[in-house]
Amino acid sequence: MFRGKNYKESVKLVDKAALYDPMEALGLVCSASKAKFDETVELHVKLGVDGRHADQQVRGAIVLPNGTGKTVRVLCFCMPELVDEALAAGADYAGGAELVEKIQKENWFEFDTVIAHPKMMGVIGRLGKVLGPKGLMPSPKAGTVNANVAQAIKEAKAGKVEYRLDKTNIIHCPIGKVSFGAEKLFENYAALIGAIIKAKPATAKGQYIRSCVTASTMGPGVKINAQKQL
């Protein structure tokens, strides 16, 4: 794989064999960022569970203390009487069947998060095949199906992130931008890792957190000693 000059320079800063303390690791990620844009910092956590079993699924959502640094466009499916409330809470779009039709007919996806009132799930159920693969289908577990749509919208705008296992039992989640600096990134990291630990299934055996790596969009991965007490 071809690597650019900036990446090669960044790699020299990181000892691939080392397990870094969280704060040190996040400081390294910031130092190794050479891109001309504000890179997103992600956390990749491999868990000692088998996500193929329903009782070993790890999934949830958390509002990061310092947000994600990303402007989130929110679509809210709600009844007509709640549209004004949803827009006032910060939703970029709010409505019902007409928005379902817009997505179906125009292949419209000018949004990053979908919030839905429980009573609207029957209306948007037919969007499962298009929203599901994009990770946009509202879910009670993620707090995106909520009778209090205003609260759910405010949380999404404030930097709420969903964490869930992929097919290889790894959680991939953004924890901010390089411009946040190590301290704010650490606060977000601590909140996310704490939530993942709290979500440990009762049936999980052996070592729960197998590995933990952080990296910026264009930078090298830095291994974190996740066993280090927060």
Give the 3-state secondary structure of residue 201.
coil
- Of 71, 164, 85, 150, nearest in space to 115 by CA: 150
DSSP 7: H
* Residue 128 pLDDT > 60: yes
pTM of the entire structure? 0.81
Give mean pLDDT, residues 128-157. Answer: 92
List Cβ neighbours of 11 (8 Å cut-off, separation of 6 or more).
Answer: 3, 32, 220
Q: Are strands 113-116 and 74-77 parallel, antiparallel or unpaired?
A: parallel
Q: Are the C-beta atoms of 56 and 227 separated by less than 8 Å?
A: no
Q: Are the C-beta atoms of 157 and 73 separated by less than 8 Å?
A: no
DSSP line for 94-145: EESHHHHHHHHHH-----SEEEE-GGGHHHHGGGHHHHTTTT-S--TTTT-B
Distance CA 148, CA 86 (A): 10
User: Each residue of 167-208: pLDDT tens digit?
Assistant: 999 999 999 999 999 999 999 999 999 999 999 999 888 899
What pLDDT, on a 0 to 100 scale, did the predictor assign at position 11?
Answer: 59
Ranges of H-type helices in the chain: 5-11, 22-32, 83-88, 97-106, 121-124, 128-131, 149-158, 181-198
User: Each residue of 82-121: pLDDT tens digit?
Assistant: 999 999 999 999 999 999 999 999 999 999 999 999 999 9
Give mean pLDDT, residues 203-215. Answer: 92
